[in-house]
Structure 1
Amino acid sequence: MGNMIGSGVFLLPASLAPFGWDAVAGWIFTIAGSLLLAYVIARLTVRMPDAGGTAQFITRAYGPSAGFAIGWIYWISVIFTNVTIAVAATANLSSILPALHRPGMGALLSIGFLWATTGINLVGARAAGATQLATTAIKLIPIAVVFVLLALTLGHGRAQVAPFPAQGFTSAGITASAALTLWALLGFESASVAADKVRDPARTIPRATLIGTAVTGLIYLLVCSGIALTLPAEESRSGSPFAAFVAHYWSPGPAGLIAVFATISCLGALNGWTLLQGEVPLAMARGGELPRWLAGTNGRGTPVRALLLSCLLGTLMLIANSLQGLVALFTAMALLSTSATLWLYVGCALAALRFQLAVPAALLGLCYALWTLWGAGLVPSGASFLLMAGGFPFYAWARRDRKSLPCRHSG
């Protein structure tokens, strides 16, 4: 939940506002599809608790090349996710610090957030976990405030809900919004990635995955839809829609505090995803799918090299896109991150089918993942496929490096 409840809930109302009621249907499809995929991943984890991450499920089902392709694109998607969350944290602060809207300023602060959470994770998994617990508790405050305020305003007739369109739902709107809503639930597979760091993973991880996904999806459906459907269009598209909602229906003073809490929430999610951007390449390097240089850890088992390389790549991405507006940058990065992560979900569904595990759920989850990949659009989905293919030179390097190891020992 710490990874899922982060930037999505606090900035998605701005991205989903143009879709209106179609976004509500998109949420329902996304929650159902995510629960199916979460169940599939949970079953795979129970069968292979020693796999060392979700990408290893694909390796055991279809071989090392397929496992590398999925593991590589998932690592890239985690880096994209961290960039997106850092931008969301900055966007929430922009409601009280307007200077962040200037080109370059927002990107500079986002880079600072990336390196700050990397520093926490360099201390070790225990420090990252403690930070995650604290920020998860804090992030529930703005959600609870908006939920109560939404209930009060609707109960007293102060809020005007956008009317249901005469033409009803549209397939194009539902499909497009579903790709964005999935961004908010990315991370339900996070517990499986760190299975080797959890006590009793065969029992703990499935429970955490399914319960966390269901609760998070319900929170998102109610809060995000409530904001998007009750705020005036120009206000819902602000850099901090939560703060805009509180300012519109309560007071500008508390709205500033909500923006601060939302920023802390984003940083909590960023902290959890930073842990993943070290663990994923570490597992791949140990499995011989990436150069063994990335498998190095310090005395506390922290993958220092993988963390630093991932953060550096995210920094370069922010620099390259620093001239975009915060909401536009968030939307573009969210779609690219979602598209990249969907390949992992496709691979896990196919692995479950190969092992004859949860076959009905795997089939439905596969259809959902492919549908959402289409809904994300040709550009982000095509770019994610090209990025996946672009990792194979590194795979060849790792295999050559691995084959030369016995020779070096014998010399």
Structure 2
Amino acid sequence: MAWIVGVSGAMLISWVLARLTAAMPEATGVVAMCGAGLGRLCGVLVGWSYWIGIWSANAVIALTAVRYLAQFVPMIGATALAQAVSATVLIWLLTVLNLGGARLAGAFQVGTTVIKLVPLGAIVLILAGIAWRGGVGHSTGPYADFAWGGLTPALTFAFYAIVGFEAASVAAERVRDPARNVVRAMLFGLALTGVLYLIVCTGIIFALPSAAVANAQAPFALFVSTFWGPWAGLATAGFAAIAAIGALNGWTLVQGEVPLGMARAGLLPRWIGATSARDVPVAILLVSSTLASLLVLSNATRSLGGLLDFMLRLTAAATIWLYVGACLTALILRIAPVAAALGLAFAAWAMWGAGIEAIGLSVGLMLTAIPLYLLRYRAALSEDAPD
């Protein structure tokens, strides 16, 4: 149910983002659109919070990749500290790749996305076989009865997995014909991804004993090895690791694009928008990866389950502020008002599921943008002053 509700809510928000992009094709991204609709300060706060959500998500994704890579090199996952150090190394390897430019990072992203479909396709084939046999040959349960009270926290975690559908609108200036292609990327991509995730993730849960899934470090590999043997499980772990690395690459690209778009829109100081010869915002890209590394290393003594739980909720809370800002902007500008109102209600619901701790920390981190905004505002006044 959380997957169904989450994908439906994301479709509402993606439609709002698509309409905003079509209405303001000259904008550098959805953050700039929020600045135009809500005011410069609100645009800065929303965009800054989204940026925080990106580098905290990179910490989660890097740890996930390490969990699958540990199936081949156990020492990198032997302890919480080893996992943290390995994840940090992975973050910086992808940072170096992105310093080569958006075109190189994009080519790498296409390749890893294609590879990602291999383990997902294998799981779909196994589930189809189980369904063909009428459910014979797999163990299930026991499962708790459905409870509406559990839907809100489940929705937040499911929605976290969907986050990213807005990336095309965030980096709209990098997209050819954004009014057309952003709509296609978000709506069709989200619909296909949502259906695939619903089938795969729910299928794994129902096809294996719940205790086994709950304790699995690499659930995709566990599922395939259960039905096709250990070698197939290892192959799946390898594909899943590549998929996670591809996701990390994509978000590493976006973590530089968000502040860059804000700086070019005049919402942040100019130094943040400084780029290399390959049009890469080097300084802010390095800052972002440093913060992601510090988040991983500072929590190295915590259990992996507790660390992932907290970072997932923080990432969801920080990211959802962008959706709140986009829906409010659409309401103010009277663009897709019905979808915007429904999307705003959904975003508030998903935000609440993240918990007070994560929401409070996301707000605190968001407010760290105010000094940067004031610096940019004073610089703008100085530039406008008469000689």
Cα distance between partner residues in 2 of 1:90 and 1:171:
34
State the shift of 1:302 in Å.
1.2
Cα distance between partner residues in 1 of 2:303 and 2:118:
27
Alignment CA distance shift 1:71-1:394 (3 Å): same
State the shift of 1:328 in Å.
3.0
State the one-letter code of the partner of 2:295. Answer: M
Aligned to 2:52: 76
TM-score (structure 2 length as normaliser): 0.95
Question: How do residues 142-161 of structure 1 correspond to structure 2 at under 5 angstroms?
Answer: 142-156=119-133, 157-161=136-140
Q: Is 1:218 aligned with 2:195?
A: yes
| 1:60 corresponds to which of 17, 36, 40 | 36
**Alpha carbons 1:239, 1:327 under 8 Å: kept:** no
**Alpha carbons 2:141, 2:210 under 8 Å: kept:** no
Paired residue total: 383
Cα distance between partner residues in 2 of 1:331 and 1:164:
21
DSSP-derived class of the 1:123 partner: coil
Aligned to 1:30: 6
**Alpha carbons 1:88, 1:326 under 8 Å: kept:** no
State the shift of 1:46 in Å.
0.4
State the one-letter code of the partner of 1:185. Answer: I
Question: How do residues 116-265 of structure 1 correspond to structure 2 at under 5 angstroms?
Answer: 116-156=93-133, 157-162=136-141, 165=144, 168-237=145-214, 238-265=216-243
| 2:271 corresponds to which of 288, 293, 312 | 293
Cα distance between partner residues in 2 of 1:124 and 1:301:
7
State the shift of 1:324 in Å.
2.5
Show CA shifts across 1:46-71 (max 9, x none). 00112111111211111101101101
Cα distance between partner residues in 2 of 1:32 and 1:141:
26
RMSD, aligned CA:
1.6
Aligned to 1:396: 374
Q: Is 1:279 aligned with 2:222?
A: no
**Alpha carbons 2:314, 2:359 under 8 Å: kept:** yes
Q: Is 1:91 aligned with 2:91?
A: no
Question: How do residues 294-333 of structure 1 correspond to structure 2 at under 5 angstroms?
Answer: 294-333=272-311
Aligned to 1:42: 18
TM superposition outliers: structure 1 runs of 4+ over 4 Å: none
State the shift of 1:285 in Å.
1.9
State the shift of 1:263 in Å.
0.5
* % identity of equivalent residues: 41
Cα distance between partner residues in 1 of 2:14 and 2:182:
10
Alignment CA distance shift 1:111-1:72 (3 Å): same
Show CA shifts across 1:21-59 (max 9, x none). xxxx11111010000001010000000112111111211
Alignment CA distance shift 1:293-1:118 (3 Å): same
**Alpha carbons 2:80, 2:304 under 8 Å: kept:** no
Deviation larger for 43-52 or 284-293 = 284-293
Cα distance between partner residues in 2 of 1:329 and 1:50:
40
**Alpha carbons 2:139, 2:209 under 8 Å: kept:** no
Where structure 2 has 5 or more consecutive residues not aligned to the other structure, the ranges are: none
Cα distance between partner residues in 2 of 1:264 and 1:225:
22
Show CA shifts across 1:92-139 (max 9, x none). 223343331312100111111111111111101110110011000101
Deviation larger for 144-153 or 259-268 = 144-153
DSSP-derived class of the 2:137 partner: coil
| 1:266 corresponds to which of 244, 259, 279 | 244
